Amino acid sequence: MIPNLEQTFRWFGPSDPVTLRAITQTGAKGIVTALHHIPCGEVWSNEEIKNRLSTVEEAGLRWSVVESVNIHEEIKTGGPNRDKYIENYIATLKNLGNAGIKTVCYNFMPVLDWTRTDLHYSLPNGATALRFDLTALAAFDIYLLERENAAADYSETVQKAAKTYINDLNSDQKKNLTDTILAGLPGTDEVFTIIQFREHLKKYSDTDAGKLKNNLAYFLQSIIPYAQEAGIRMCIHPDDPPFPILGLPRIVCTENDLKFVVDACPSPYNGITFCTGSLGANPKNDLPKMVETLGKHIHFLHLRNVQREPNGSFYEAEHLAGSNDMYAIMRNIINEQLMRAHVSREDIAIPMRPDHGHMLLDDFRYNTYPGYSAIGRLKGLAELRGLEMGIKRSILNEQS
């Protein structure tokens, strides 16, 4: 019998309204957290790491994954201080390794992390979901950000729809759209102003996708030997949404992009976070097949679904509904576990978390981080573990 996937829940730290006590009731045994209060680029000290570790362990949980040790913009743009920030990154990895934390997630998205245009999209049953609407993004880009040549990035149909869209918004709605798109790092309340964001865009004026890829390879070649020494599995998170936005390149969107990452510095410690929601927003990504081809590099699973719409918009669907076949994805993950068992790999219980959840029932009483409600995620986790158990039992019976 192979071990189950390790069920984890994201926790944003002591200020998260979803408490560790509540998380223990979901059935999750692992915590995914980060020291969100330490500014990006600074070293996480042994003391800070130990404090967080004791808080998690005192609640009877395990700190399974760090999500994320974020990457300073100087590293992404290949700026003059990148080596200093890489040194700091390595120091943080060493300290995490000393504390026994062995999986670290990160992303290489320029300036913004994941991006949505609506955090309260109403579903017919009264629940709410996160949504990315291409028309709303175009309206922001062309009329509020006023980025040079922005219109050229959208089809004529989208440009027209964007004009109508912006004309219908009052000033509060415009501010809300701006704040939603320009939200900074997860786990912080930081929101860029349009002026700050334009400054960031300038820094990318000579960093196209090719350069960004080179900078990612440089970063990996610099840090992976140290991650390996510390026993830390690095796992890049794909870009969300998986295409360039607001004139910024995005380079971790497809199977080939992920191959580029693992080939840039081949090592069992250079792997990926397989995020079905992010990758699944691109209809060209065949997720079950990607689990087959990239399976051995998967160190962490984000399981959720999206409902795609024809023009590139999408909203977050229930975990087992939506455009991606969660059954086929889970089946291939379990096959990957069987292969790992066959070659006696230690990491069969891959950590997984229900990524995001709807706002449901009492979730509306709490001011949780967007996507990180308690009940919505609990529902997702419960469905996913049921799916896992059902598939596993049937595969193992078939084999015996």
From 356, 358, 363, 369, the catalytic residue: 356
**For ligand DNO, the closer CB: 186 or 241:** 186
Least Å from the CB of residue 56 to ligand DNO: 17
Q: Give the distance, in angstroms, between the CA of residue 294 and the centroid of all CA atoms in the same chain.
A: 17
Specify whether 120 is catalytic.
Answer: no
Return the amino acid letter for 177: L
Specify whether 355 is catalytic.
Answer: yes
Least Å from the CB of residue 308 to ligand DNO: 18
Specify whether 362 is catalytic.
Answer: no
Whether the bond into 171 is cis, omega within 30 of 0: no
Coil vs helix vs strand at 226: helix
Q: Taking the CA of residue 181 as centre, how many other CA atoms within 13 Å lie in the half-sphere pointing to its CB?
A: 23
Specify whether 372 is catalytic.
Answer: yes
Least Å from the CB of residue 186 to ligand DNO: 4
**For ligand DNO, the closer CB: 297 or 302:** 302
**For ligand DNO, the closer CB: 278 or 332:** 278
From 299, 302, 319, 358, the catalytic residue: 302
Specify whether 72 is catalytic.
Answer: no
Region of residue 286 (phi > 0: left; psi between -120 and 50: alpha; otherwise: beta): beta
Distance between CA 62 and CA 290 in Å, rounded? 29
Q: 45 Cβ partners below 8 Å, 6+ apart?
A: 95
**For ligand DNO, the closer CB: 65 or 166:** 65
From 275, 297, 299, 319, the catalytic residue: 275
**For ligand DNO, the closer CB: 299 or 340:** 299
Strands ordered across the beta sheet of 118-122: 118-122, 128-132, 314-317, 305-308
Distance between CA 64 and CA 44 in Å, rounded? 17
Of 211, 228, 215, give the one whose Cα is nearest residue 264: 215
Whether the bond into 241 is cis, omega within 30 of 0: yes
Q: DSSP letters along 66-105, please? A: EE-----HHHHHT-TTHHHHHHHHHHHHHHHHHTT--EEE
Specify whether 358 is catalytic.
Answer: no
**For ligand DNO, the closer CB: 304 or 392:** 304
Distance between CA 260 and CA 111 in Å, rounded? 21
Least Å from the CB of residue 114 to ligand DNO: 4
Q: Is the dihedral of CA 256, 261, 267, 270 positive or negative?
A: negative
Q: Taking the CA of residue 133 as centre, how many other CA atoms within 13 Å lie in the half-sphere pointing to its CB?
A: 19
Give residues in contact with ligand DNO (CB under 6 A): 67-68, 105-107, 113-114, 186, 237, 302, 355-356, 371
Q: DSSP letters along 318-376, please? A: -TTSSSS-HHHHHHHHHHHHHHHHHTT-S--S-EEEE----B-GGGGGS-PPTT--HHH
Least Å from the CB of residue 393 to ligand DNO: 30
For residue 89 the two structure tokens come to: 């990154």
**For ligand DNO, the closer CB: 277 or 288:** 277
Least Å from the CB of residue 239 to ligand DNO: 8
**For ligand DNO, the closer CB: 237 or 299:** 237
From 121, 154, 204, 237, the catalytic residue: 237
Contact call for residues 363 and 130 (beta carbons, < 8 A): no
Beta-carbon neighbour count of residue 201 at 10 Å? 17
Active site residues: 237, 275, 302, 355-356, 372
